[in-house]
Amino acid sequence: MGRIGKGTKCSVANCGDDAVRSVNGAKAKSAGLDVDGRRAYLCKEHYKTYKKGSKRDRQIEKWRHGVA
């Protein structure tokens, strides 16, 4: 059982919702979220924001590794 299963709260400042996903803290910060630490635990709403903010970076990574 991981931290999400134990009921970890969202890592974004001023958010107290339950986390549903965890992502790399640096990538979450570059996507425009206000987080601290190595791991960022995100609620559903902030995970959606993270996906929108990191879409271009994820596409470039796919191109670098030859996955279309």
pLDDT string in tens for the chain (68-residue length): 799 999 999 999 999 999 999 999 999 999 999 999 999 999 999 999 999 999 999 999 999 998 76
pLDDT (0 to 100) of residue 31: 96
- State the DSSP string of the chain: --TTTTTPBP-STT--SBP-EEEEHHHHHHTT----SSEEEE-HHHHHHHHHHTHHHHHHHHHHTT--
